[in-house]
Amino acid sequence: MSDEKRTQETEEQRRKRISGYGMGGVDTVMSVDAVAKEAERIAANAPKEEDLLHLAGGEAFLSIEKLRAGYGRMEILHEFDLRIGKGQSLCLIGPNGAGKSTVLHSIFGFTNIFAGVVRIGEKDVTHMKPNQKLLEAGVAYILQDNSVFPDMTVEENLWMGGFLKNRPEEAREAAEKVFEKYPRLAARRKQPARVLSGGERRLLEISRALVMQPEVLLVDEPSIGLEPRFIDMVFEILEDLQKTEGKTIIMVEQNAKKGLEFADIGYVLVSGQLAKAGPGDELLEDPDVGRLFLGG
Ligand SMILES: Nc1ncnc2c1ncn2[C@@H]1O[C@H](COP(=O)(O)OP(=O)(O)OP(=O)(O)O)[C@@H](O)[C@H]1O
Ligand SMILES: [Mg+2]
């Protein structure tokens, strides 16, 4: 058997294996009928493209167009659309497993994209690798999970933000600005990050993104696991980043009240599709949103 032949066969076996596995899970959760009904209902009331553009102030800086994306061969987002103007903030809410984190993953380049386009400014960034996303498209991603380096000092953690961009000098200057703004971090700059409390770590993670000087900030669950005064502090930083530094912010927030109060635009995601969109403060008043996500 030639080498070429052998490679082909292996490739085919691999495809079979993945398709068998990938086709498994979905139908077992909901009957095909129920899924189709739910999808129909959502599609009938889904916001239109012009509504999304209007919310974005008439001109999108970042846009996601008819995106179909997921993991392996499993499609999680079905023709998902998003528009956000430069310097705006957008908050995604929705039930667990709806695909909120997957939207952020897809912008950053962590998913398989089957169809659709992600654009930032004039650039098509759909198939850019995560490291290019930061360097070439100016996107920084603050993960849902803890991402500080525990054995490095607080200031070294901040400088890391600059190494990721190959700009260590600028990073040091930016880090000094962070310390001027947040005395809480300055007081601990020479200590290893592991001594920080949960809230202080979140502060450090968000400040590190600031040192990377991105245009677009993706933030997954900024308030997760924090007590109220830290939640307020985290939202103050985000507000500062948006209002003073002009960053464009897309966030996912389980705390729908906080997220929608903060954001210019709110999106409700259900089963990988956009179910509702509106100004953050209007969605806060929406009875469905209240019933489902605000406990009222
Ligand atoms: N790395 C992965 N590999 C395979 N499937 C994944 C992966 N990450 C998420 N999924 C699946 O994609 C679907 C959407 O997950 P996602 O994390 O986007 O939901 P979410 O809306 O952020 O939920 P939560 O509110 O619980 O954070 C889920 O069914 C999940 O099991
Ligand atoms: Mg999530």
- Write down the pLDDT at residue 25: 39
Q: Which CATH architecture has domain 88-96+127-293?
A: 3-Layer(aba) Sandwich (3.40)
Q: Report residue 67: phi and psi, to 5°.
A: -80, 130
Probe ligand 1: pick from 102, 143, 271, max atoms within 8 Å of CB? 102
- Write down the pLDDT at residue 198: 83
**pLDDT band (50, 70, 90) for residue 268:** very high
Give per-residue pLDDT as tens, 177-193: 889 988 889 999 999 99
**Least trusted range by pLDDT, from 133-147, 210-224, 248-262:** 133-147
> Closest by alpha carbon to 139, among 118, 160, 115?
118
- Write down the pLDDT at residue 9: 46
Q: Is 122 left (phi over 0), alpha (psi -120 to 50) or beta?
A: alpha
- Average pLDDT on 76-82 reads 97
Q: Would the pLDDT of 96 be above 50?
A: yes
**Of all atoms in ligand 1, which is nearest to the CA of residue 269?**
21
Residue 211 · residue 242 · CB < 8 Å: no
97 lines ligand 1 (CB under 6 A): yes
Look up residue 204 and give its two tokens.
């450090």
- Write down the pLDDT at residue 22: 35
Record the pTM: 0.83
CA 93 / ligand 2 centre spacing (Å)? 10
Query: Looking at the DSSP assignment, which residues form a beta bridge with residue 216?
Result: 139, 248
102 lines ligand 1 (CB under 6 A): yes
- Write down the pLDDT at residue 145: 66
246 lines ligand 1 (CB under 6 A): no
Q: Would the pLDDT of 216 be above 60?
A: yes
